[in-house]
A and B are shown apart, each in its own frame.
Chain A
Amino acid sequence: MDTANFFLQALLTADMTIRVSVVLIFACLAGLFSERAGIFDIGLEGKMLISAFFTAAVSYQTGYIWYGVAAGIAASLVFALIHGVASITFRGNQLISGVAINFLASGLTVVIGHAWFKKGGLTPPLSDAERFHEITLPFADTLRDVPILGPIYADVISGHKLLVYVAMLIVPLTWWLLYRTRFGLRLRAVGENPASVDTAGVSVVRYRYAAVLIAGVLCGLGGAYLSTSQGAAFGKEMTAGRGFIALAALIFAKWRPWYALMACLLFGFLEAISNLFPNINVFGLFEIPVQFTQALPYILTVVILAGFVGKAIPPRAGGEPYVKER
């Protein structure tokens, strides 16, 4: 492969990496807020799925993308609220609640979609007005001719849909909120040692609800991105395990925002590679099967979790309902 061609392939891969990472970033940050406050969330997948459906459905019905996004976020918030009521108010098992949410999302999206559009659970394809558009950043076309940096700016950084840039902005925002505000300090404390936060007169319940609802909004955006930006309609089970990859990325990032971005880009890169170059031939010696690339995020996460390469220590009060002492 000559250099020019290699550069072109690299640009293509980088562009696709960003496109497929965005869902992971939204979901991963959602999980980050929730788990940092001590609430396990394996229902990221379900919340994204229900949002993907309602965004596409309402967008199609009203012809206006923002109504769709609002509906998607609202649906995801309802699920987040169920998770909150079950795991905070009624101190239920957070993992079981997450499993229930995934079941409900898989069922409801198809049942409602089937009755609504009569297309076996799919929504009709969305027209231009019902989707997000590519945004060309300033000077992208004039700078394209600049060697190397020009194409990188024009083809990789510019030309994405709005939610891509929103995702990239939410990463520093999350960092700032968690590490530079009182809200963030308390939220993290609620996930590490809720009793001490309670002693200080701060409501553990309120902070946990706040975290769970923020996760709801972020999953809502992730789902909206899937059906109106990465795709152009809702399809049955379209999240395809991305909520779980995001969970894996969260562990890989050891529950920190900037690392979360890196982990999502890495896992997105692996997805892009498996899409673009199914079977990779290594110097003509052997072939890496596409299934290996697809499984790599999960394998890496198991390795990290087992502490063979650095130790991932979750928030200490994660998964435990808080019982106020009387």
Chain B
Amino acid sequence: MDKMPRWADVVLIPLISLMLAFIASGLVVLAIGENPIQAITVMVKGALGSTSGLGYTLYYATNYMFTGLAVAVAFHARMFNIGGEGQAAIAGVGATLVILAFDWPHWALALPFAIMGAALFGGFWAAVPAYLQAKRGSHIVITTIMFNFIAAAVMGFLLNGVLKNPNTQNAETVKFPAGAHLPTAHEMLAPLGINFSKSAPLNISFLLALLCAFLVWFLLWRTRLGYSIRAFGQSEKGAKYAGISAFKIIMISMFISGALAGMLSINVVMGEQERLIKEFVEGAGFVGIAVALMGRNHPVGIILASILFGMLTQGGFELLWEMPNISKEVVLVIQGMIILFTGALDYMVRGPVEKLFLRMHKGA
């Protein structure tokens, strides 16, 4: 055996990369004359120290689970979907149209239809680049980037036009009907006697995200379609020999990817804002790339990575109060470092670790 054990690949290498990323970010904090240990303590305390902090952490984690799963499903078909940002935005329009169409009597009725609306719109926004890739050979990365910008323009057009609430100056829709209000963590946990923060935006979408993670796992590793997607991702030629249609795999995997990214709008638009605003995605689509990389494209890894990234985001806001010299954008630096070390510089970490295991193996 000349390969390293599986645990090293799945646990050790991501941990080393993560540590390198944190060390590099720590150096940045040091360079601006602040104490990185103190900063990370403030962030962790802010993210986990209260039910309010925890509620925000898991709320952000919900977003990252959706976009991380979206990137991962596409990755398994060897498609780099960088368009989660735009897909989530357009999905928000889909969810909004459904929610505003009726005076929903109960959220349990509104939710499945809103999910369908979001999934259809988000999936469609990913399916167009997928079609162009499959049929016309346009590079999916470039097309999805372009679609992010086109989505931003569409949002601007709709929210300043037909969807705009005529009673405000802002580019936003009217408030959703009360019947479409999703239960928050506070409301769900109160009957159990747990007093969860009322201000935290955590809502039932968190459970939806966990369900999606399970469904993605089931799809990819327990169904024929999932097997085809992974086979196609491993070897396009091999898959073709096995009679798998490239067109079908690209279309389906990208549609699912876009639909998953679209679920973010259930959490943010339906669960928190309760109206559609212009820039509600706030970069979560791009964070999904980091989450998928960190989580090794596996649902379990993605759940863990999402919680880590949720902690970072929430902890970043906390810095504002405790260490005003460090701006919350330090989170972007940490995220960038994580993407750099776990993604682009993977080989730099992997090479030496592999060699080490090889030497240990020979020595034994």
Contacts and interface: CB of A to CB of B under 8 A. Distances in A.
Given A289-B161, A306-B132, A103 B327 contact: no
B138 A100 contact: no
Interface string A83-94: 001110011111
Interface string A284-326: 0000010110110011011001111000001000000000000
A229 interface: no
B32 A90 contact: no
A173 interface: no
A104 B340 contact: yes
B32 A112 contact: yes
Nearest to B289: A99
Interface stretch (B175-183, B221-229, B234-242, B342-350): B342-350
Contacts of B331: 107
Nearest to B151: A295
Interface residues of A, number: 51
Given A99-B82, A99-B289, A291-B156, A87 B344 contact: yes
Given A86-B340, A96-B293, A110-B327, A298 B149 contact: yes
B344 A86 contact: yes
A229 B48 CA distance: 46
Interface residues of B, number: 52
Contact of B340 (A100, A115, A306): A100
B344 A93 contact: yes
A95 B339 contact: no
Nearest to B131: A306
Contacts of B149: 241, 244, 295, 298
Nearest to A304: B138
B339 A96 contact: yes
A108 interface: yes
Interface stretch (B93-101, B140-148, B209-217, B298-306): B140-148
A91 B289 contact: no
Contacts of A291: 153-154, 156-157, 160
B138 A306 contact: yes
B-side interface mostly: helix
B329 interface: yes
A90 B141 contact: no
Which of B139, B146, B289, B343 lies at the interface centre, i.e. has the most chain A CB atoms within 10 A of its CB? B146
B336 A100 contact: yes
Contacts of B82: 42, 95, 99
B343 A90 contact: no
A307 to B, nearest CB: 5
A114 interface: yes
Interface string B54-68: 000000000000000
A301 B347 contact: no
B143 A305 contact: yes
Interface in B280-323: 286, 289-290, 293
11 contacts: A86-B345, A90-B347, A103-B286, A106-B332, A111-B333, A116-B32, A298-B146, A299-B146, A305-B138, A305-B146, A306-B132
Interface of A: 40, 42, 82, 85-87, 90-97, 99-108, 110-112, 114-116, 120-121, 241, 244, 247-248, 251, 289, 291-292, 294-295, 298-299, 301-302, 305-308, 314
Given A96-B343, A107-B336, A114-B325, 13 more contacts: A92-B347, A92-B348, A99-B343, A100-B343, A107-B334, A110-B332, A111-B327, A112-B31, A114-B326, A291-B154, A299-B146, A305-B132, A314-B139
